[in-house]
Amino acid sequence: MLTTDRMDDTLIDVPRGLTNVVAAETALGDVRGHEGFYHYRQYSAVQLAAERSFEESWYLLLFGELPTRHQLDSFRLQVAGARSIPDEVASMLPAIARVTGGTDALAGLRIALGAVAAADGIRPLYDTAVDARTDTAIRVAAVTPVLLAALHRLAAGERPLPPRPDLGHVAHYLYLLSGDVPDARTEHAVSAYMTAAIDHGFNASTFTARVIASTGADLGSAVVGALGSLSGPLHGGAPSRALDTLDAIGTPERIDEWVTDAVLSGARIMGFGHPVYRTEDPRSRMLRSIAQGFGGDRVAFATAVEARVLALLEQLKPGRELHTNVEFYAAVVMELCGIPRSMFTPTFAAARVVGWTAHILEQAADGKIIRPSSRYVGVPAPEPLPPAV
C-alpha cells in the first residue's frame, strides 16, 4: 500500500513500513537479498565469520580496514580493559535480576546498560570528540556481554564471575555464562554465529539506534533504544522457537504429519522464511555446515526436518519459496555449544551491539537529525472550535 506525501512541492510515494526506501547512506555494509549475500564493508560477512575472529570484524566496522597483528593485539587489550562493571552498577544487578523475573536478560540489560552509561558519565555524542566517541562505542559493546552473563547467573542463583583479560571476546562471554573456558571448536562455532550477527542492513533496531544518535544523544541511550526495538516479536525473533519446533515434532516419523498440518493450517514454521532473502539465507548455510561438523542425532533430525519442510512446501504450496533463516541452525549450534535457550536472543544482542555502535558513530558524524514527515489522514482541519462545556 502506498501513501502520498508532499515535500518541497514534490509528490512522493511512500510504501508502508518504508520498505525499500533509502533512509541514509552507509559505508558499513549491505544486504543483497536476491543474491543471498551480505557484506561488512568490502568483505563477505559469511567469509569473515568462517575465517576470522570476532574482534577482526569489529575492528573492520570501526576503522574501515582489517587490523594488522599489532593492531589486533592492541584492540583486544582495549576491549579487555573495557569490560569492567562499575561498582555502583554491580551492586544493582541482583535487584535488576529480581525485577525482570530472572527470565528476561534483555530487559535487565536495558536497565543495567543505562546505569553503566550514567556511572561512566557518557556525554552526548553532540558534545563528544570523534576519538572519545569510538572509545565509548568499544566500552559499551565490551561491557554488554558481561552484563548479560552476570544477570543470567544471578537469575540462576549463582554469583557473577570476574572478567578474564586473557580470554578473547567470544571465549570470555562463554566463560562468564558457564564458568568453563570453551574448547576451540565451541569458541569457533559461537564466534562464527556472533560475527555473522553483527550487522544486517537497516533493520528496525539499527535504524532506531541511528535515529536516536541523529539527535546528538549519548551513545548508551542509542543502544538502549535499539535494545527496546529488538524486544519486539516482529524484529528480534527468538532462535529458541526453532528448537521448540523440533521438540514439538519429536521424532523423524512425525515430521511429515506435523509439517503438513502446519502448512495447511497456515501456521508459521519457526526458523523458516526471511523478509529480505529470496534465496537461501547465507548465514543459515554456514551454520548448517558448523552444526554438521558437530554431528549427532539432534543435527541429523534438524537437517531431516529442513529437507522435508522444503519438499512438502513445494508439494503443498507450489511456487512458494521458503528457506531456513539464521534462527534455525543458530539455535541448533547454540544448543550444541551449551548456551541456555533463555540466552539465545541475548547472545544475538551481544553480537549486534557491535553493529549498532558502528552505525551510531557513522550517524553522529553526519550531524543531521532524522526528522521525516507524516501524512495526515484525520478529520480535515481547521474546524471551528465548539463552545466550551
Q: Are strands 2-7 and 43-44 parallel, antiparallel or unpaired?
A: unpaired
CA distance 8 to 30: 30
Q: Which of 152, 200, 274, 323 is catalytic?
A: 274
Residue written as cell 578474564? Answer: 164
CA distance 309 to 267: 13
Angle at 103 between CA 102 and CA 106, to 5 degrees: 100
Sheet holding 29-32, edge to edge: 29-32, 37-40, 43-44
CA distance 354 to 349: 9
Query: If you ran DSSP here, which 8-state letter would residue 30 be given?
Result: E
CA distance 389 to 380: 23
Q: Which of 152, 327, 335, 359 is catalytic?
A: 327
274 among known catalytic residues: yes
CA distance 311 to 13: 39
Is the separation of the CB atoms in 196 and 286 below 8 Å?
Answer: yes
CA distances to 25, 113, 148, 271 from 89, in Å:
36, 9, 13, 36
What the block records as the C-alpha cell of 182 is 570453551
327 among known catalytic residues: yes
Query: If you ran DSSP here, which 8-state letter would residue 351 be given?
Result: H
Residue written as cell 500500500? Answer: 1
Residues serving a catalytic function are 274, 327
